Structure 1
Amino acid sequence: MLNPWRLGLLSRLDTLGTIRAVAQDANMSASSVSQQLAVLEAETRTRLLERTGRRVRLTPAGLLLARRARAILDHMDTVEAELRGLTEDPVGLVRLGAFQSAIHTLAVPVVTRLAGAYPHLEVQLLELEPHESIPALRGGDADVIITATDFVELPLGPDLEIVPLATDPIVLVASPDRPVPRGPAVLSAYAGEPWALDVPQSYMANLTLRLCRESGFEPRVACRFSNYLMTLQHVEAGLSIALLPDLAVDRRYRVVTRELAMPVNRTIAAVVRRGSPLRAAVNLVLTALRQQPDAPALVDRPAQEAD
C-alpha cells in the first residue's frame, strides 16, 4: 500500500531537487526525509533514488512515480471532497497562492465573495511570489496560484493550465520632488540614479536588472525590499527610484509613475495543474478569479503624471 505522505515527499524531491530543500519545505530534518523515502522504496520494492557524489537523484522508476504521485494525490483530494460534500455546494480546503500586489486587488475580493456564498468552502490565502508559487503548485502545496506568466526563470510548461486574468504594465516610480522628465521613461536617462530593488532572484529584481542592462548600465542599488509598500515609502522619501508593476503602486503614496518608452507588460494569470480532475471547490475558485469584476481596472488604469 502506497503511503500518500511519502508520495508527497517524493513529488517534492522531483520539484525541489535536493533532500535538504524537501526537508526545509516539509519542516523536517534531512535524515528524516531520507528515512521516509527509504521506507517508500521498501513499500514499492523498487529503487527510487541513486547517489551521485554527495547528492541523490531520482532513478527512472523514481521519476515515474514522482510524476504519477501528483496525479494520485490530486485524485485522493477529489474523492475526499466528494465524500465530504454529497451536496451541490462545493466544500473543502483550497490553497490559493498569489504574489504580493495581487493579494488585495484580486485574491482578497474573490475570497470575500466566496466566503459569503459558500460557507463550507475554505480558501487559504498564501503570499507567494512567482519564483515560489510555481514550485508550490507543482509540488502540491498550492491548488491555484495567481502569477506572472513571463517569469522566465521558472517557465510555465505543458503540465500547467493557464487562465489569463489581466495585463499589468511595468512603470518607473519616483518621488514628485525628484526631477523626472514628463512622458515615457527612457531608462538610460536614469543610469546615475539610486535604485530600489526587490530581493535577489525575485521576479521584479531580475526584470529590473535585465531592463537596465539592456539599456546599457548596471543600476546602483540603494535598497532591497521584499515588500512593495516599503519600496514605495523609500521612493516617496526621494531616496531611490524603482520599476514596479502598476498594480503594485498604492495611490496613497506621494509618488509619480511613468510608462516606459519601450513598454513592458506582464500577463497575470491563474494557474492550476493539468491532467488531474479539478475538485469542485478548486474549479469554483478558478471560475471566480476568471469572472473577477475588478480585473479590467488592472488593464485600464493610467500611469500618474506629475503636475
Structure 2
Amino acid sequence: MLDVRRLRLLRELAHRKTIAAVADALTYTPSAVSQQLTALEREAGVPLLERTGRSVTLTPAALRLVEHAETILAVLETATAELASARSELTGSLRIGAFPTAVHTIVSPALVALSRDHPLLELLVTELDPAAAPAALRAETLDIALLQEYDYVPLAPEPGLDTEPLFEEVIHLATLEPGPLAAQSDCPWIAGTPGTLCHEMTVRACLAAGFTPRIRHHADDFGTVLALVGAGQGVALVPDLGVLSVPAGVTLTALPTHRRTRLAYRRGTGAHPIVAAARAALHAAATDRAAGA
C-alpha cells in the first residue's frame, strides 16, 4: 500500500525540483525527505528517482505516479470537504494569500464580511507575489489565493489546483508627458522586482511595442512606482488597483492590455464550507469594487 504522505512528497519534488526545496517548504529535514522517498520506492517496487551526485530526477514511473497522486490528494480533499459540510457552524482557520493591492481593495472588505457572518472563523492573510501562491497552496500553507495573469504573461496550468475568474483590470501607462507606449523606448523605466509577474509584464509589453525597456528602478509597491514617475525618474505600467492615488503631474494612459485575477484553491476543496465562504466573500467584494469604480 502506498503511503499518502510519501506521495505528497513525491508530488512536491516534481514541482520544486530539489529535495532541499521540498524540505524547506514542508518543514522537513532533507535527510527525512530522502528517507521517505526511499521508503516510497520500496513500496512502489520500481525506481522512482535517478540520483546523480546531489541532484535527483524523477523516472517515467515516478512522473506517472505523480499524476495518480494528484488525483488521490484531490479525492481526499473532497472527502474532507463533505465531512466539514455536516458541521452547523464554521470554525477553524482560513488562510488567504493575496498581492498587496488586492489586500487593500478586495481582501479587506471580504474579511469584514467573513468576520461578521462567521465569528468563530480564524482569518489569516499572507501578502505574497502571485507567482509564489501555487506552491504555497500545494504545500497547504494557504487555503485560497489570488493569482494573476496578463495579456503578455498568461497563467500556466497548475496541476492539483482549481481556479476561477475574480476580476479584470486595464493596464495604464504612467508618464509625465502623454504619449503612446511605443514612444517610450528612450525613457528610463520603473518595474517590479525581477522574477515577479509585474516585471515580466513590463518587459513583454515593451517588447511587443518594439523595444527593450531600460529599467532603472525596481519597486513592487505601485504607490512607490507612481511617486518615482512623479519625481521624473521614469515611466511605468500600472494596473487599475494600483492607481487609487496619483501624484500631481502624472498622466495615465489606458492601454489595450489587461490584468486578470483568479481565485485558486487545491483541487477538491472548492466545496469545503470554509473555502466556499471565502470564495463568496471575495466575489462579493470584487463586485462591489467594480460597481464603485
Q: Given the two structures, how large is their TM-score scaled by the length of structure 2? A: 0.83
Q: How does 1:239-258 map to 2 (within 5 A)?
A: 239-251=233-245, 253-254=247-248, 256-258=250-252
Q: Which residue of 1 aligns with 2:92?
A: 92
What SS class does the counterpart of residue 264 from structure 1 fall into?
strand
Tell me: CA distance 1:137–1:154, structure 2 relative to 1, closer, same or farther (3 Å): farther
Question: What's the offset of the Cα at 1:40?
Answer: 3.3
Q: Which residue in 1 is equivalent to 2:135?
A: 135
1:165-203 deviation per Cα after TM superposition (whole angstroms, max 9, x unaligned): 2110111123xxx3x12xxx4112222222111011211
| Cα RMSD after superposing both structures | 3.1
Any conservation in 2 of the 1:173–1:241 contact (CA below 8 Å)?
yes
1:160 offset after TM fit, Å? 4.0
| Cα offset, 1:245, TM superposition | 1.1
Within 2, Cα distance between the matches of 1:203 and 1:210? 10
Contact in 1 for aligned 2:169/2:258 (Cα 8 Å): yes
| Aligned counterparts of 2:155 and 2:21: Cα–Cα separation in 1 | 17
* Matched residue, 2:11: 11
Deviations 1:267-299 (A, max 9, x none): 22212334566321111111222222x535448
1:133-172 aligned at under 5 Å gives the runs 133-150=133-150, 152=153, 154-156=155-157, 160-172=161-173
Displacement of 1:224: 0.9
1:289 corresponds to: 282
8 A contact 1:147–1:271 mirrored in 2:
yes
Structure 1 SS opposite 2:41: helix
The residue number in structure 1 matching 2:185 is: 191
| SS of aligned partner of 2:33 | helix
Distance apart, 1:35 and its partner CA: 2.6
- Cα distance in structure 1, aligned partners of 2:62 and 2:221: 39
Whether 1:209 and 2:203 are equivalent positions in the alignment is yes
Structure 1 residue 252: Cα displacement: 6.3
Work out whether 1:236 is the aligned partner of 2:236: no
Conserved? CA contact 1:70–1:140, under 8 Å? no
SS at match of 1:57: strand
Indicate the residue corresponding to 1:304 in structure 2.
none
For residues 167 and 90 of structure 2, the distance between their equivalents in structure 1, rounded to whole angstroms, comes to: 26
TM-score normalised to the size of structure 1? 0.80
**Corresponding residue number in structure 2 for 1:273:** 266
Structure 2 residue runs of 5 or longer lacking an equivalent are none
Q: Percent identity?
A: 35
Letter in 2 for 1:95: R
Change (3 A) 1:84 1:271: closer
CA offsets 1:29-73 (integer angstroms, 9 cap, x no match): 433422332233345555332235753222344334434444544
Q: Secondary structure at the match of 2:189?
A: strand
Name the CA shift for 1:43/1:274 in 2 (closer, same or farther; >3 Å). Answer: same
Aligned residue-pair number: 292
